[in-house]
Structure 1
Amino acid sequence: MSKTELATDADPLLQPFRLKHLTLKNRIMSTSHLCGLHEEGFPQARYQAYHEEKARGGLGLTMFGGSSSVSADSLWAGGQINVATDDVIPFFEQFSSRIHRHGCALMCQISHLGRRAESYAGDWLPAIAPSPIRETLHRSIPKAMDRHDIERVIKAYGSAARRCLEGGLDGIETLASGHLIGQFLSARTNRRTDEFGGSLENRCRFGLLVHEEIRRQVGDAFVVGLRFVVDEKGGEDLSFEECLKIASQFEASGLIDFFNGIYGTMDTEMALAVDNMPGMASPIAPWLAQVGEFKQHVDLPVFHAARITDIATARYAISENLLDLVAMTRAHIADPQIVNKLLAGHEERIRPCVGATHCMSANRPTCPAQPGKRSGTAAAAGHRAVRQAGPAYRDCRGRSGRT
């Protein structure tokens, strides 16, 4: 038996996983995020190459298009993919072909920002939300959605999902935390007195109608998931118990195929830095226990990403049944060859993500562990000196031809 076969048989991370009709070749994935490589709102050559490098590295599933916009009034200055037009379909066709040839599945996140949208972006359309309550971080004062807005946005979600299907993608996820669906779910941001507000059942209505429309346009075979907050920490925000009740309604509807669990809120700078994208000041996998507890109460598969930076933690999450797929998104920016190195028995050669969050800067998706990947960096002849070597030292020596 070869070393690769031995590694695959022994390692829980390398076991295949069945997701509806898809068989993912391992349990490691990369979640959707804004990588800063879009061109004119579309995933063109550089964007595709960034994800293809991870697929070539052995990844089982890569998601792209963080906060991809389903509608013209869901924009900010962050560079989303535009899934509100059929013009995106040819790019999806190219993209899916490049990823699938490496045996990797490809999915896109589609969303509406709601009150998080910036009114001065794009066509300067007003932000919309369940109620006119401003978000601290983005500061737009949204227009309360009327019946036309609700019906229009529901159809926009379905059309965006249909474009993903026609482009050859394997599935999509919607985003419930902080974005428009989540703003309907939370009593803090939903003060409506009609059938879309008040009781928990009413607050779930918009999100369920969105997913009904998605299913109407893509059918039952297409994979559809929900990136869902498992706990907003209570108070005015959703508690763990309320999140379980909401999850139960979505699960019972039969409209979704997985939960992609996240924790906390995202409407302040601190919440983004601590809850959503924890850096080196946070513990490793700070919310794994909470998402693992959530998994024990639902039947659908559960995924999760939040500073899962090392193989030992990822392996623990799968072996202890805390997750079905473990997302190592920033870890794959540090080293897109993680899976191939595992298969080859060279786990010790994986470049670690140190949580520097350089990948969230204007230069994203660059990383201190990938010094040669910066845009515009060219190799130069001559001698090199390395002072106060950090995590990139070994790579720098290798690129310099030193051993």
Structure 2
Amino acid sequence: MNPYPHLLEPLDLGHTTLRNRVIMGSMHTGMEDRAKHLPELAAFFAERAKGGVALSVTGGYAPNWHGWLLPFGSTMTSAKFADKHRIVTDAVHEHDGKIVMQLLHAGRYGYHPFKRGASSKPSPITPMGKPKAMSTKEVDRTVTDFAKSAVLARRAGYDGVEIMGSEGYLINQMLTARTNDRTDRWGGSPENRMRFPIEIVERVREAVGEDFIVMYRMSLLDLVDNAQSWDETVHLAKQVDRAGVSIINTGIGWHEARVPTIVTSVPRAAFAWVTAKLRPEVSVPVVASNRINTPEVAEEIIASGQADLVSMARPLLSDPYFVNKAAEGRADEINTCIACNQACLDHTFQNKRASCLVNPRAGHETTLILSPTRTSKRIAVVGAGPAGLAAATELSGRGHTVELFEALSELGGQFRLAMAIPGKEEFTETIRYYSRQLEINGVKIHLGTRATIDELADFDEVVVATGVEPRVPSIPGVDHAKVVNYQDVIRHDAPVGQRVAVMGAGGIGFDVSEFLLHETDESLEHWMQRWGITDPEIERGGLTTKLKSPPKREVTLLQRKTTELGKGLGKTSGWVHRQTLKDSGVEMVKGVTYDRIDDDGLHITVATGKDTSESRVLDVDTIVLCTGQESVRDLIEPLETRGVTVHVIGGADVAAELDAKRAIKQATELAARL
């Protein structure tokens, strides 16, 4: 019996058929920009095609150099480069998949001094100053450049192109009065502003013929001021439908929007309702996107008629075999995307190779290889946090005999704490995945067990993944009854009053603050109200006034550094955490010296200038220590003394700010070596 009949049903596009309804959405991997990386890009997409994906979309390729996202970035402007792409398209076709090239002009979002825009208005999120407004002729030439790039994509063996008309890139910039103040035929009225994407589609279709996929990614919800109205959006959709698109893909939010659209706190399928609004208005298939990460969610979207296909990018980083596992009734074996952004989008915006926190092989398919071992060893893994779980899973998967020891009564370590934080419930999925893999691989698990040196000495090798323990700072009165550590708070092992001071504003401090302020698993309706999202028929761009809920507690977040709080958080998710605390009335204080703790509260000195400061007493009920961690390393020296080969990974190796990305990658690389 087909467990997901709608998701796995083929889709006839007329000239070609997609084998199911799953699209791997576009994301820049860092392998697009140079020809030397094309073999790695080929391996990346081939694995997803082998895993069952019907249609993959590449990262964005500019139609001309003014449209670069990065200096000398990915472009499709020469036959020579197009021919080199045959290695990518052939690799996908070998596994019966299809692939389209995304054509993207960055406009004012370009990170280079040569960028061109609809007008000279600067981007609020991009350096390099103002773009130069395109002349009337430059706009027309850019339309032609899109068509030329599409022809080259066809020459390269691609099955189609996706025209990027979303996320605030050039086409979006041309469409709205927010960024288009032109007075020529490409500006002024909504009809004139729409001329740019419509002519792009028309010329692309004319250039490539009818037997080629032309997908248009349309912004259905801009989430910025002075955006398109819903009537304008529908009109544009009908026009590009008439102009010859094969599929309309959903885009949500400009990059400069101050509304989260993809981070883990966004509810699953939070924007499928917008796709559902558009679907009856057009004759071509439409695609739902954003935070669709399980086959159950994807199946429901299609079965309920909200969309014809689903787009998933990051979920196919975390598990390239998502589709096959779903089709084979093995959905419980899917390594679910937790939408953390730490190794994918954060890497992209740091100009690094994109990968995945829960699957470090993503983007490294040719170098991080987990082949069956030739010599099976008996290996003990001590600690069942992210590092230990990854090590035990991958080592046993390669054929080693593995036993896992965990002092607590449950698997998960720091991930079990993380999943209790509002908006991080997805972390539960990673523990579920590893638990299932350990079961499949026959790993013997010892819960509630502190492994002894004598027990461990019998193994061929030992992996120490014992993690960290909270660091207690040397402050007078730190042993006061008001003081608790973050682990006890999250585990509900310590009472917390109404007025709370959180000491330490790293990732843990922000997480604990959110834990103290909000409930987990809020409804989609409440989440939308909290971020000011509404029906675009009511407000342009779907943006309205936020509805702020009263927080459960009064929280003050403190840090020693004089930099802005949260500066070290993830580039694409940190702003969400900062805004959430700000909206909840959290006082954030930097430049703090902790003087003492007593019955009156927390005594601090706060820097107010270069050589000035003031003393304050925070009259709080509870003081939560988020003041760093110390590695748990007590097993290492005794084991080495006994002559045991020891490998130290995760927090036991480095006790800096908790870093699951590094821990899982370290564990996976170790498993590949042993």
Contact 1:196 1:205 in 2 (8 A): yes
Q: Secondary structure at the match of 1:63?
A: strand
- Give the TM-score of the pair, scaled to structure 1: 0.88
Whether the 8 Å contact between 1:200 and 1:246 is mirrored in structure 2 is no
Q: Distance in 1 between matches of 2:134 and 2:124?
A: 19
Distance in 2 (CA, whole Å) between partners of 1:386 and 1:239 is 57
Per-residue deviation, 1:151 = 2.5
Find 1:389's aligned residue among 363, 385, 391.
Answer: 385
Partner SS for 2:122: coil
In 2, are the aligned partners of 1:234 and 1:240 still within 8 Å (CA)? no
**Residue of structure 2 in register with 1:119 after alignment:** 112
1:2-401 map, 5 Å: 6-7=1-2, 11-38=5-32, 40=34, 44-65=38-59, 67-77=60-70, 80-120=73-113, 126-139=114-127, 140-177=129-166, 178-233=168-223, 235-253=225-243, 255-267=244-256, 270-271=258-259, 274-275=260-261, 278-357=262-341, 358-362=343-347, 364-371=353-360, 383=379, 385-390=381-386, 393=389, 396-400=392-396, 401=400
Q: Which runs of 5+ in 1 are unaligned?
A: 1-5, 121-125
Unaligned runs of at least 5 residues, structure 2: 403-441, 443-674
Aligned-partner residue type, residue 203 of structure 2: E
Structure 1 residue 62: Cα displacement: 0.9
Q: What CA distance in whole angstroms lies between the structure 2 residues aligned with 1:310 and 1:79? A: 37
Contact 1:371 1:396 in 2 (8 A): no
Q: Deviations over 1:105-138 (max 9, x none)?
A: 1101002111112234xxxxx2211211111111
Aligned-partner residue type, residue 282 of structure 2: V
Q: Distance in 2 between matches of 1:92 and 1:374?
A: 17
Q: Is the 8 A contact 1:31 1:329 kept in 2?
A: yes
**Displacement, 1:390?**
4.1
Shifted more, 355-364 versus 313-322: the winner is 355-364
Separation in structure 2 between the aligned mates of residue 394 and residue 305 of structure 1, nearest angstrom? 29
| Mean CA deviation greater in 312-321 or 141-150 | 141-150
Deviations 1:221-270 (A, max 9, x none): 221111001122474111323211221222233x21211011222235x4
Inter-CA distance 118–365: structure 2 relative to 1 (3 Å threshold): closer
Contact 2:6-2:302 at 8 Å conserved across structures: yes
With over 3 angstroms needed to count, the CA separation of the structure-2 counterparts of 1:334 and 1:144, relative to structure 1, is same
Question: Quick one: distance in 1 between partners of 2:388 and 2:246?
Answer: 39
Deviations 1:48-103 (A, max 9, x none): 111111001111111112x2111011123388532122222222222111111111
CA spacing shift, 1:85–1:374, aligned 2, 3 Å:
closer
Paired with 1:373 and 1:190, the residues of 2 have a C-alpha distance of 38
TM-superposed deviation, 1:377: 5.7
**Which letter does structure 2 place at the counterpart of 1:311?**
P
- How far apart, in 2, do the equivalents of 1:187 and 1:391 lie? 50
What is the distance in 2 between the residues matched to 1:319 and 1:149?
44
Identity %: 25
* Secondary structure, aligned partner of 1:160: helix
Task: Look up the SS of the partner of 1:227 in the other structure.
Answer: strand
CA distance in 2, matches of 1:372, 1:105: 22
One-letter code aligned to 1:361: D
Task: Give aligned pairs, total.
Answer: 385
CA 15–80 in structure 1, closer or farther in 2 if over 3 Å, else same: farther
The answer as to whether partners of 2:65 and 2:72 remain within 8 angstroms in 1 is no
Q: CA deviation at 1:364?
A: 4.3
- Cα distance between partner residues in 2 of 1:56 and 1:160: 27
**CA deviation after TM superposition for structure 1 residue 368, in Å:** 2.8
Hey, what's the Cα distance between the residues in 2 that align with 1:11 and 1:297? 25
AA aligned opposite 2:124: T
| Matched letter for residue 301 of structure 1 | P
**Residues 368, 385 of structure 1: CA spacing in aligned structure 2 closer, same or farther, 3 A cutoff?**
farther
| Pair member with larger Rg | 2
The answer to which structure has the higher helix fraction is 1
- State the Cα RMSD in Å: 2.5
Distance 2:87 2:94 in 1: 11
Contact 1:108 1:173 in 2 (8 A): yes
- Cα shift readout 1:367-402 (whole Å, capped 9, x = no counterpart): 232246685768898845253434983674243333
Q: Which deviates more from structure 2 when the two are superposed, residues 373-382 or residues 189-198?
A: 373-382
